Chains A and B, each alone.
Chain A
Amino acid sequence: SQKIEQNSEALNIQEGKTATLTCNYTNYSPAYLQWYRQDPGRGPVFLLLIRENEKEKRKERLKVTFDTTLKQSLFHITASQPADSATYLCALSRETGANNLFFGTGTRLTVIP
Chain B
Amino acid sequence: GAGVSQSPRYKVAKRGQDVALRCDPISGHVSLFWYQQALGQGPEFLTYFQNEAQLDKSGLPSDRFFAERPEGSVSTLKIQRTQQEDSAVYLCASSLGQGEEKLFFGSGTQLSVL
Contact = CB atoms under 8 A, between A and B. Distances in A.
B105 A49 contact: no
Interface string A48-76: 01010000000000000000000000000
Given A99-B97, A100-B33, A46 B104 contact: yes
Contacts of A101: 33, 45, 103
A99 B102 contact: no
Contacts of B105: 43-45
Nearest to A104: B42
A77 interface: no
Interface residues of B, number: 27
User: Interface range on chain A: under 10, 10 to 19, 20 to 34, or 35 or more?
Assistant: 20 to 34
Contact of A43 (B45, B93, B95, B97): B93
A51 B100 contact: yes
A46 B3 CA distance: 13
A49 B100 contact: yes
Contacts of B56: 100
A51 B103 CA distance: 16
A6 B56 CA distance: 25
Interface in B1-50: 4, 31, 33, 35, 40-45, 48, 50
Given A32-B100, A101-B45, 9 more contacts: A41-B107, A42-B107, A46-B104, A89-B42, A97-B99, A100-B33, A103-B44, A105-B41, A106-B42
Interface of A: 4, 6, 9, 31-32, 34, 41-46, 49, 51, 89, 91, 93, 97, 99-106
